[in-house]
């Protein structure tokens, strides 16, 4: 069983809205990586898409037309970034793309999208840390993957037992916000600019 299959099995034990909330929270964790590398239009659509995913998870009204337009922009941004080979920004944008896909009413597709978001977030954390390590070799760290994995494991436990409507603060008790790896990455990248 590969990592995606393993996550799918764990995710199936949670209700749809809390899985969507998890996908949105994972998007929140990597959004600053995207924002650091992409300030061109439609940069605003990426965080807006994430906000609409949160709204969906929390049972709030979501304008379907606006959501569809945002998702289209995210898909086009991902395609462009892949062509430009901006790997760390692409990985972060794909997490948000997968978070949007997690709102799908097809249970199988929705669960798979959340699993893919989780795996891509692991990749984004590891890649961002690796990039910072290459650019600041005297400050090398090897903690991002372990931290993100531990957060995800705790989040998966949390969503299985979650009762009631999800909310934007539901994951606050399980780890640093923003993640420590992101703070470290931001500090080291800021040092270079």
The predicted-structure confidence for 32-83, as pLDDT tens digits, reads as follows: 888 887 767 666 788 999 999 999 999 999 999 999 999 999 999 999 889 8
Give the tens place of pLDDT for each residue, 94-153: 999 999 999 999 999 999 999 999 999 999 999 888 888 887 777 778 888 999 999 999
How far apart are alpha carbons 67 and 52 in whole angstroms? 7
The answer to whether position 168 is within a domain reads no
Lowest mean pLDDT among 25-29, 160-164, 175-179: 175-179
Q: Name the burial class of residue 107, with classes exposed (0-12), middle (13-18) and buried (19+) by CB atoms within 10 angstroms of its CB.
A: exposed
Q: 86 pLDDT band (50/70/90 cuts)? A: confident
Lowest mean pLDDT among 17-21, 45-49, 173-177: 173-177
Give, as one character, the DSSP assignment of residue 169.
T
Q: What are phi and psi of 127, to 5 degrees?
A: -65, -45
The answer to whether position 67 is within a domain reads yes
Question: Is the sign of the CA dihedral 166, 64, 119, 189 positive or negative?
Answer: negative
The answer to whether position 136 is within a domain reads yes
The answer to whether position 188 is within a domain reads no
The answer to whether position 108 is within a domain reads yes
How far apart are alpha carbons 72 and 18 in whole angstroms? 24
Q: What is the pTM of this model?
A: 0.93
The answer to whether position 24 is within a domain reads yes
The answer to whether position 34 is within a domain reads yes
Give, as one character, the DSSP assignment of residue 12.
T
For residue 16, give its domain range: 3-162
Give, as one character, the DSSP assignment of residue 151.
H
How far apart are alpha carbons 109 and 92 in whole angstroms? 20
Considering its fold, how many domains does the chain have in total?
1
Compute CA 12 distance to the chain's CA centroid, rounded to the nearest angstrom. 19
The answer to whether position 184 is within a domain reads no
Task: Quickly list DSSP for 41-104.
Answer: TTTTHHHHHHHHHHHHHTT----HHHHHHHHHHHHHHHHHHHHHT-HHHHHHHHHHHHHHHTT-
Q: Are 29 and 98 in contact (CB under 8 A)?
A: no
Q: Are 65 and 116 in contact (CB under 8 A)?
A: no
């Amino acid at each position: 069983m590969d990592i995606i299959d393993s996550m799918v099995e764990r995710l199936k034990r949670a209700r749809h809205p809390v899985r969507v909330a998890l996908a949105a929270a994972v998007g929140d964790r990597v959004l600053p990586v995207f924002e650091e590398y992409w300030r061109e239009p439609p940069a605003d659509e990426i965080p807006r898409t994430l906000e609409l995913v949160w709204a969906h998870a929390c049972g709030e009204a979501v304008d379907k037309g606006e959501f569809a337009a945002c998702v289209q922009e995210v898909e086009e941004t991902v395609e462009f970034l892949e062509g430009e080979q901006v790997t760390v920004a692409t990985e972060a944008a794909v997490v948000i793309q997968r978070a949007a896909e997690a709102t799908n009413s097809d249970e199988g597709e929705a669960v798979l999208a959340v699993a893919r978001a989780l795996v891509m977030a692991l990749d984004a954390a590891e890649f961002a840390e690796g990039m910072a390590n290459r650019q600041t070799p005297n400050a090398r760290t090897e903690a991002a993957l372990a931290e993100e994995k531990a957060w995800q494991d705790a989040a998966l436990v949390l969503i299985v037992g979650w009762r009631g409507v999800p909310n934007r603060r539901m994951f606050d008790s399980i780890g640093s916000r923003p993640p420590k790896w992101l703070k470290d990455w931001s500090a080291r990248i800021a040092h270079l600019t």
